[in-house]
Structure formats: C-alpha cells, structure tokens
A and B are shown apart, each in its own frame.
Chain A
Amino acid sequence: MAATRATAYDSKIEGNIIFTKFDAALNWVRKNSLWPMPMGLACCAIELMATAASRFDISRFGAEVMRFSPRQCDVMIVAGTVTYKMALAVKRIYEQMPEPKWVIAMGACASTGGMYRSYAVLQGIDQLLPVDVYISGCPPRPEALLAGLMKLQEKISGERSLAAQKPALTEKLEEALA
C-alpha cells in the first residue's frame, strides 16, 4: 500500500478560491435564488403561470420556487388589478415577507390602475408598497416578466446589502479596522 502523503488541507481546493467583496457574494447568491410570492389577482397571473411553465421557464433565472407562504418569499410579483378591497390584504402579505424583499408590479393595473379608472381599483400598488420594477403591458408577455426579473437581478447585484441591513455590524468592523 502506498504511503499517504501529508498535504495541506487547502491544496485540494487551491486555485478554486475567489477573493471578492462580501456584498458581491451575498448579492450573487440572493439574485440567483429569488423566491417569488405569486400575488396573482387578475389575467396577468395567467402570464405569470406561463412564465413559470416549461416554454419560458423562469427557473433559468433561479426564480421557479413560487411559494404560497409569504414567509418563504423574497420577491412579490403583484400580477393583476388591485382592488381597494384587496389592497390592505396585499400589504399585509408583503409585511409578512422576511427582509430583504422586493416587489415587481406586473402589468398596467398593478403599476397604475390600468384601464380601471374606477371607484373600486387602487391606482397603482406603489401607493402601498415600495415597487422595484414596473413591467408595462396588458398583460405583459412572459418575456417582459423575465426582462423585469433580470432588471431586478441587476438592481440587487448593485445593492450595498451589508451596510444597509447590518449597520451595527459594519460599524463594529470599521472600528476594529481603524
């Protein structure tokens, strides 16, 4: 039996180490596994379903894990007409999502009320929630939703996550380094 050669632990993974900023790594992980909260309220939800299905396949962007519990979601896709009766329920579901969280307003209705200039329809979900990406269309095609998702990924990759979400920790680190 050949004698085993003593090697440093690192040698096996040597060359596979990447130096990067913590934010960049964190954002890379986050943007490639966005779990959507499908807030399907009208016909946009049909396009949302098509986007999730095999032809358009939202899993290519790591966002195929539609969760029906807000507690497991990262991004709320508001797909459809938000009536005043539904509006506070949408807000409540958004508030139940853990941080960090993002919102996509899919289609004309969710963005502005769309063709419903009416007593019953909230004129844009941005009156209640902080929207990150608006997608035009009535309803938008699945490609448009995917483009919106990629825009959101771009936005996430530029975020200063650590500083924004752990201000106390970054302060401590800066003190230690100073």
Chain B
Amino acid sequence: MTGPELLESLTKVFGAKVESQTEFRGETSCTIGAGDLREVAKLCHDDLSFDYLIDITSIDNFGEEPRFEIVYELYSMTLAVHLRLKLKVSEDTGAVDTVSDIWPTANWHEREIYDMMGIKFNGHPDLRRILMWDGYPYFPLRKEFPLEGLPSEMPDVAFSQAAPMEGGPFVTQPSTATVKDREPRARRPEL
C-alpha cells in the first residue's frame, strides 16, 4: 500500500470513528471523538504503520464549547506519509486518555500540554509540570492568562512577578508595507 492509498482508505479503516476528514494543501486531518482516541491511536500505530508521533499540540478556543482542541501529528516512516488527528476536549472534562504507552515520546509532550494548558491525561505514568516548577499555580498558555504573567511565590523554590509591558506587546504589523514599517515597535495609538 502506498501513502496516498492509505490516506484514501482511512474512512474505511476507522469507520464511524472519524467525524470528518479534510485535506488542505496535501495535508490530511481527521477529527475524532475524545473517547475514541486510544482505539484510533492503536489502529494508526499497529495497523497503519504510523510509527512516529512528531508532536502533540493543544489549542485554546477561548469562548467556544468545547474549549480545548488537541492535535496529534503522525508520520509513517515506511510509507513517508503524514496524518493529523484532532479532537476536542471540554473544559469541564479537562482530560483525555494518554497515548504515551503507544508512542513513548508522548510522555513529555503530554506533560508540556498539562503544564501550559492544564489538560490532564488519564493513565499518564508521570503527569508533572515540565517547564514551570511544581506548584506554579497557573497555566500560562491559556487565553485568559495575561502575557506579562501573574505574581506567585513558593519560598525557596521560585517566585514570579508581572513583567512591565511599557505599552507592549510589540508585534509585527500584518500588512504589505515594508519591513521597516511592519517591524515590532512602540507605536502611537493613532497610527
């Protein structure tokens, strides 16, 4: 079976578990239900030769329901083909099953998502924070968390303060102007 054939046969293999399948610029994405994740992941790994989990990311669609979205980037070394799995998690549930027993690399990816977004992974062998310190009270990549941060204090471990933004954040202006005009800098409000 070749890569393109594999992608075409996905709906047949997965059946009703795939809620929708889209293709954009040669990239195939499948939306699945959060409950079907482990079954689909096992199928991908064992039967469809997706032996490489490139990355797991999470998206905070603040204000929408379900709020969070988790994206799994899969790759098949033998067939040289990518597959993206997406699933939604509501804030109330706040958890999905782990895939770290299927792809060991998921261990740290899931820890990072837990650290930054606060989504828990059921069955994860060691769900601790990975970037911030244990005991840090916030999840900094959530939309409601301010960019400059919030003060926190853990004596003898770490502390944090809000950063002075001084009119920032200074971001690149999205336009067709020259690089000089688009560059990140403090701008007068009327400009």
Contact = CB atoms under 8 A, between A and B. Distances in A.
Given A117-B147, A117-B169, A118-B147, A123 B157 contact: no
A143 to B, nearest CB: 27
A85 B147 contact: no
B149 A119 contact: yes
A91 to B, nearest CB: 11
**Which of A84, A120, A123 has the largest count of B CB atoms less than 10 A from its CB?**
A84
Interface in B137-178: 138, 140, 145-150, 156-166, 168-169
A148 B80 CA distance: 53
Contacts of A135: none
B171 to A, nearest CB: 12
Tell me if B's interface is mostly helix, strand, loop or mixed.
loop
B14 interface: no
Categorize the interface residue count of chain A: 10 to 19
Contact of B163 (A85, A87, A113): A113
Contact of A119 (B133, B148, B159): B148
A117 B148 contact: yes
A121 B159 CA distance: 10
B150 A119 contact: yes
Nearest to A84: B160
Given A119-B145, A119-B147, A85 B169 contact: no
A88 B131 CA distance: 16
B163 A121 contact: yes
Interface in A71-130: 84-85, 87-88, 113, 116-121, 123
**Of residues B131, B132, B148, B158, which shows the largest number of chain A Cβ atoms within 10 Å of its Cβ?**
B158
Given A88-B157, A117-B148, A117-B166, 4 more contacts: A88-B158, A118-B147, A119-B140, A120-B131
